[in-house]
Structure 1
Amino acid sequence: MGKVVLDVSMSLDGFTAGANVRKEEPMGDGGERLHEWMSGEGPDGGVDTGIRRQVDAAVGATVIGRRTFDLGLVPWGGTPWPGVPSFVVTHRTRQDLLGDNGGTFAFDGLEAAARRAKDAAGDKDVLVLGADVARQLLGAGLLDEVWLHLVPLLLGAGTPLFGGVRAELVPEGAPVTGAASVTHLRYRVLKPGRP
């Protein structure tokens, strides 16, 4: 069975989106710069595109926060990965929504969404989108790993990662540095009673 994994780009000052997140700027002011490494440009760009391919190959389903869904649906043109089932965590459930790219969005509570996503993913991983839902999953003991792409950028304000939640993270492999000095890190979430 796959893992529940947060795959996220973060600024050096700890933000996963810039200030003033809104429909016109879903990543907030300057937040899109957190994803520039994915283009693979620069002398070590092949490292970055290799990391992106690993992430894309691992995804079997997604768990998405409601706000991330609301802001991302139009830019994604459907589910974040074409054809991949996505589970939106919300208190405002609704009928499933078929995305323009063949993927389905289902709407459920936190634990049910995580369980359904793991079932749908099979042997692949469940990727988490949204800092708030990632914090909730971590607090509930449902997050297994964090894949962090540390971008050498100071946003000054924005959406913090894991605000107020404590956990111990165990490194999985050595850090990898790609273009523009983005550092790719992997951590396993240490859970009580499990090594």
Structure 2
Amino acid sequence: MSKVVMDVSMSLDGFSAGPNVRPEEPMGDGGERLHEWAFSGKGPDGEVDSAVRRELDAMVGATIIGRRTFDLGLAPWGGTPWPGVPSFVVTHRTRGDLLGDNGGTFAFDGLEAAARRAKAAAGDKDVVVLGADVGGQLITAGLLDEVWIHLVPRLMGEGTRLFDGVRAELIPEDKPVAGAATHLRYRVARNEAER
């Protein structure tokens, strides 16, 4: 059965995006630096980062994204975050499906319906969640199974805090592995997430 997994890069001081998020800088000022580990594959342990990225790409059967992430990400992605992969946008402003330029479809729905539909669409793969706010909503609703954090050795000082105000217990799933980022995996303890 597919899992709902939040995959996110985070600075050492807890930010998943830089300040001043806007269409010209969808990750905020300096926020793109949080994702360099996924694309460079350089450095003495660059193969670790490349392997983590390959594993992530192979597991994606569908995505759940927040409306703001959709609004800001559509142009840079050129369609859905992974080409051809269905994406479910959590929003109160529903609309008809939108076909992305890269073959993926965006569907617009409420939180629980988006999670249910994404799991069905993912088949035997997993659902990857993008966006700090929607990730927090999924934890609070008891719909998030795992959190994969890519801890980047950078201090942002300000920006979008990951899981700001959300309470949950996270249980380590694997040993951390380190390349340009330290890759951490946690299972969400259901009894804590549903409080």
- TM-score computed with the length of structure 1 as normaliser: 0.97
**CA distance in 1: counterparts of 2:56 and 2:30, whole angstroms:** 24
**CA distance in 2: counterparts of 1:13 and 1:106, whole angstroms:** 34
Residue aligning to 2:122: 121
Match for 2:20: what amino acid? Answer: N
Residue aligning to 2:14: 14
- Structure 1 stretches lacking a partner, 5+ long: none
Residue aligning to 1:183: 182
Residue aligning to 1:103: 104
1:151-191 Cα distance to aligned partner (Å, 9 max, x none):
00000000001111110011011000013xx1000000011
**CA distance in 2: counterparts of 1:162 and 1:173, whole angstroms:** 21
- Structure 2 stretches lacking a partner, 5+ long: none
**CA distance in 1: counterparts of 2:129 and 2:6, whole angstroms:** 5
Question: What is the CA-CA distance between 1:43 and the residue it aligns to?
Answer: 1.4
Residue aligning to 2:88: 87
Divergent runs of 4+, >4 A:
none
Residue aligning to 2:133: 132
Q: Secondary structure of 1:192's match?
A: helix
**CA distance in 2: counterparts of 1:67 and 1:125, whole angstroms:** 22
Aligned length: 191
Question: What is the CA-CA distance between 1:3 and the residue it aligns to?
Answer: 0.3
Alignment of 1:16-55 (within 5 A): 16-38=16-38, 39-55=40-56
**CA distance in 2: counterparts of 1:60 and 1:145, whole angstroms:** 15
**CA distance in 2: counterparts of 1:172 and 1:135, whole angstroms:** 19
- TM-score computed with the length of structure 2 as normaliser: 0.97
**CA distance in 2: counterparts of 1:165 and 1:173, whole angstroms:** 23
